[in-house]
């Protein structure tokens, strides 16, 4: 707001546009709740106190807090486009997000980043972006693009770019990889934060990582890990997504001394969780129920991320800040009743009041270059033991197990009696024909197969199944759709199309949720007990989260950071 306009209104010489009266105001600076009025003009908070205004709204002693800020997320994980994501989360009180377009960038490169920036224009919330730092995440997979420091340079000047996104290549930092360091230096040279991603990193390696300029981490799974990273000077983002939930484990870390360097994030939250649970409001609600002071929980959703990213005009109810506000009656139920952005009401009682502007930018052409005729899932037995990826409930980390192979006609096959299923990752961007093959334990299928073009981080096609025929049917459907999810038994296929880069739909999140519920129900009928098997499946191709994963290049031992043999060890048949 222009100071020539602001100062006379703040002084009380001119009327404000809007005045909220009878408010319980949550002050995130003092940590106190005060009773008073909030004056607003031109979308800016003028002041707290007695003011004259053109319009007066009596909030009847309701609480007013700053709008919520998701400190780290991938909009692509909502499985819907930017405008529909906004429609989904704004009624829950999320008025700002720090979105990492890492997923679409791994498919489409700089064009993917541009598409997301263009799609975020003219939306009734603050969509900030952090620039993908690891495209590809590693050299142990084939992505659709490669983004260097030089490729990122033009984006750093964009007004909505606020940081370098999660630096997943922590070995590259620790060992001084020139390409990695150049990206960190580029961000630091213009005082942009560098987000981290370093599960389990400790000791001298953590010292090296943090001291190189990495300022946050959202991968902590234990109190000890979070404390060590806090003591190394990092900010901690407490994640509650669909595939990874860390709030309960990290509750002991949140206290008066630490909380102002901690914040909430969803990272990856699927449509059914967005619809049923909400967004950042659901994390605040769970934190309060778990005993966290309500104002502390709100600080972690507002001023903490705003200050971390150096954003001085949001995150608080104070003079000169944007009038992005949420209104609710109590902390016990904590249900957001009204949402204001730029001083205008945009949502009430869970419903949008204003229309969401669809972006003019056309969705990019899907990256789907696969020759189905060349796919062969057979695995010739080399020894009688195999490495198996074992799921860990509610976590992205996995365990490596050495199991006896089930061998039929000299080929290793799925064994549903032991829940050891064949898994494969098929390169989809460049038609290289690359395919990594392996085995996974914990999916639980008793029949059929499931496949997806959502497979972090390079988003090749990932498929798991009880037999090769059904696996091929599921993959064929994904290719035919230009991306999406599929569950197959023979020619009986249930699918969810994701035509935007094989990651997102143009449909509302409720529609996508309905489609996703339908396909998950089918997969449950196949025997899988997992609440969301596709979310779990999507992270099994991510070779930066321990202990063992699979890419189009093969089985990856993440702790050794290298491709390893599926068969183990050398006791040949």
Q: How confident is the model over 378-403, as pLDDT tens digits? A: 999 999 999 999 999 877 889 999 99
Distance CA(392)–CA(12), nearest Å, equals 59
Locate 101 and state its tokens: 């377009």
Distance CA(237)–CA(216), nearest Å, equals 7
- β strands within 101-223, DSSP E: 126-131, 161-167, 194-196, 216-217
Collapsing DSSP to helix, strand or coil, 282 comes out as helix
Collapsing DSSP to helix, strand or coil, 457 comes out as coil
Distance CA(325)–CA(88), nearest Å, equals 17
Distance CA(336)–CA(320), nearest Å, equals 24
Locate 470 and state its tokens: 């059904």
CA quadruple 393, 398, 400, 403: dihedral sign: positive
Place of tokens 């703040």: 10
List of residues 6+ apart from 180 with CB closer than 8 A = 133, 167, 169, 172, 173
| Distance in angstroms between the alpha carbons of the first and the last residue of the chain | 76
Looking at residue 572, its pLDDT comes to 44
Number of H helices, E strands in the chain: 17, 29
What DSSP designation does 104 have?
H
The helix or strand, by DSSP H or E, that contains position 307, with its residue range, turns out to be helix 303-308
List of residues 6+ apart from 18 with CB closer than 8 A = 39, 40, 41, 53, 54, 55, 56, 57, 323, 343
- CA nearest neighbour of 451 among 554, 537, 331, 333: 537
Phi first, then psi: what are they for 171, rounded to 5°?
Answer: -65, -35
Bridge partners of residue 129, in order along the sequence: 99, 161
Looking at residue 570, its pLDDT comes to 57
* Centroid of chain to Cα 84: 16
- CA nearest neighbour of 393 among 243, 519, 270: 243
pLDDT in tens, the chain (573 residues): 789 999 999 999 999 999 999 999 999 999 999 999 999 999 999 999 999 999 999 999 999 999 999 999 999 999 999 999 999 999 999 999 999 999 999 999 999 999 999 999 999 999 999 999 999 878 899 999 999 999 999 999 999 999 999 998 898 999 999 999 999 999 999 999 999 999 899 999 999 999 999 999 999 999 999 999 999 999 999 999 987 899 999 999 999 999 999 999 999 998 989 999 999 999 999 999 999 999 999 999 999 999 999 999 999 999 999 999 999 999 999 999 999 999 999 999 999 998 887 776 777 776 899 999 999 999 999 999 999 999 998 778 899 999 999 999 999 999 999 999 999 999 999 999 999 999 999 999 999 999 999 999 899 999 999 999 999 999 999 999 999 999 999 889 999 999 999 999 999 999 999 999 999 999 999 999 998 899 899 999 998 888 999 999 999 999 888 999 999 875 544
Distance CA(296)–CA(301), nearest Å, equals 9
Distance CA(482)–CA(503), nearest Å, equals 10
Locate 43 and state its tokens: 């979308």
Collapsing DSSP to helix, strand or coil, 305 comes out as helix
Q: Which domains does the chain have, with CATH numbers?
A: 1-65+317-347 (2.30.40.10), 67-312 (3.20.20.140), 372-564 (no CATH)
Please give the C-alpha separations between residue 467 and each of 107, 234, 413, in angstroms, as whole numbers: 28, 46, 8
pLDDT digits (tens, 9 = 90+) for 115-164: 999 999 999 999 999 999 999 878 899 999 999 999 999 999 999 999 99
């Amino acid at each position: 707001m222009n100071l020539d306009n602001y100062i006379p209104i703040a002084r009380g010489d001119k009327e404000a546009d809007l005045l909220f009266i009878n408010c319980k105001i949550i002050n995130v600076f003092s940590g106190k709740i005060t009773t008073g009025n909030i004056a607003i003009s031109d979308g800016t908070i003028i002041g707290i106190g007695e003011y004259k205004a053109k319009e007066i709204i009596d909030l009847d002693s309701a609480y007013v807090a700053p709008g919520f800020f998701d400190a780290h997320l991938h909009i692509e994980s909502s499985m819907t486009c930017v405008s529909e994501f906004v429609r989904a989360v704004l009624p829950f009180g999320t008025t700002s997000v720090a979105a990492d377009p890492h997923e679409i960038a791994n498919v489409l490169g700089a064009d993917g980043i541009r598409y997301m920036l263009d799609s975020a224009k003219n939306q009734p919330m603050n969509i900030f972006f952090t620039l993908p730092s690891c495209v590809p995440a590693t050299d142990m997979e084939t992505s659709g693009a490669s983004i260097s420091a030089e490729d990122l340079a033009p984006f750093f000047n964009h007004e909505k770019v606020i940081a370098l996104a999660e630096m997943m290549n922590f070995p590259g930092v620790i060992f001084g990889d020139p390409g990695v360091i150049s990206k960190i230096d580029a961000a630091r040279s213009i005082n942009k934060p560098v987000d981290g991603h370093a599960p389990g990193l400790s000791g001298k390696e953590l010292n090296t990582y943090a001291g190189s300029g990495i300022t946050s981490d959202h991968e902590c799974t234990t109190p000890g890990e979070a404390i060590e990273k806090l003591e190394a000077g990092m900010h901690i983002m407490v994640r509650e997504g669909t595939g990874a939930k860390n709030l309960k484990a990290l509750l002991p870390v949140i206290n008066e001394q630490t909380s102002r360097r901690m914040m909430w994030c969803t990272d990856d939250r699927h449509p059914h969780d967005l619809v049923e649970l909400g967004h950042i409001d659901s994390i605040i609600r769970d934190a309060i129920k778990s005993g966290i002071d309500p104002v502390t929980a709100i600080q972690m959703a507002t001023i903490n991320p705003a200050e971390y990213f150096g954003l001085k005009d949001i995150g608080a109810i104070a003079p000169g800040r944007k009038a992005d506000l949420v209104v609710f009656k109590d902390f016990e139920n904590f249900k957001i009743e009204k949402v204001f952005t730029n001083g205008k009401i945009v949502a009430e009682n869970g419903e949008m009041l204003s229309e969401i502007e669809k972006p003019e930018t056309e969705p990019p052409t899907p990256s789907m270059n696969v020759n189905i005729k060349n796919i062969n899932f057979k695995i010739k037995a080399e020894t009688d033991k195999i490495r198996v990826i074992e799921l860990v409930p509610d976590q992205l980390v996995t365990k490596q197990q050495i199991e006896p192979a089930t061998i039929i006609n000299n080929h290793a096959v799925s064994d549903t009696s032991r829940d050891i299923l064949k898994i494969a990752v098929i390169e989809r961007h460049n038609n290289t024909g690359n395919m990594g093959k392996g085995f996974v334990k914990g999916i639980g299928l008793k029949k059929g197969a499931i496949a997806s073009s959502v497979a972090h981080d390079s988003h090749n096609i990932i498929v798991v199944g009880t037999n090769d025929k059904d696996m091929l049917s599921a993959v064929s459907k994904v290719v035919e759709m230009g991306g999406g999810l599929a569950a197959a038994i023979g020619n009986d296929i249930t699918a969810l199309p994701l035509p935007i880069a094989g990651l997102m739909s143009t449909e509302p999140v409720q529609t996508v949720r309905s489609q996703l519920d339908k396909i998950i129900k089918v997969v449950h009928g196949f025997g899988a007990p997992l609440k969301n098997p596709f979310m779990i499946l999507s992270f099994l191709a991510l070779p930066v989260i321990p202990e063992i994963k699979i890419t189009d290049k093969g089985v990856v031992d993440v702790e050794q950071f290298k491709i390893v043999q599926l068969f183990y060890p050398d006791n040949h048949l």
